[in-house]
Amino acid sequence: MPDEVKLTIDTREWEDLLKALPKRVAKRAVRNALQAGGEVIEEAMVAEAPERTDTPTPESDALAPGILKDDISTQVQIGTKYAPRVKIGPTSIAAYVGWWIENGFDHVEGGRKLDPRRYTQEKVGTVTKHIDANPFMARAFDSSIERATEAMLENLAASLGQDINDPAGDSGGEDLGSEAD
Residue 163 pLDDT: 54
Task: Give the lowest-confidence range in 29-38, 40-49, 159-168.
Answer: 159-168
What's the whole-number mean pLDDT along residues 130-147?
A: 95
Residue 145 pLDDT: 95
pLDDT category, 89, cuts 50, 70, 90?
Answer: very high
Residue 44's identity, in one-letter code, is A
Q: Is 163 helix (H, G, I), strand (E, B) or coil?
A: strand
pLDDT category, 168, cuts 50, 70, 90?
Answer: low
Residue 70's identity, in one-letter code, is D
What's the whole-number mean pLDDT along residues 93-115?
A: 83
pLDDT digits (tens, 9 = 90+) for 57-74: 777 777 888 899 999 999
What is the C-alpha to C-alpha distance for residues 66 and 57, in angstroms, rounded to an integer? 16
Q: Which residues of 153-172 are buried (b: 16+ CB within 10 A; e: fewer)?
A: bebbbebbebeeeebebeee
Q: Best-predicted range by mean pLDDT among 43-47, 95-99, 169-173? A: 43-47
Is residue 112 over pLDDT 70?
no
pTM as predicted:
0.73
Residue 77 pLDDT: 92
Residue 1 pLDDT: 44
- From 174, 177, 158, select the one nearest 32 (Cα to Cα): 158
What is the C-alpha to C-alpha distance for residues 86 and 8, in angstroms, rounded to an integer? 11
Residue 174 pLDDT: 39
Residue 152 pLDDT: 92
What is the C-alpha to C-alpha distance for residues 51 and 120, in angstroms, rounded to an integer? 28
What's the whole-number mean pLDDT along residues 96-121?
A: 77
Q: State percent of the chain over pLDDT 90.
A: 39
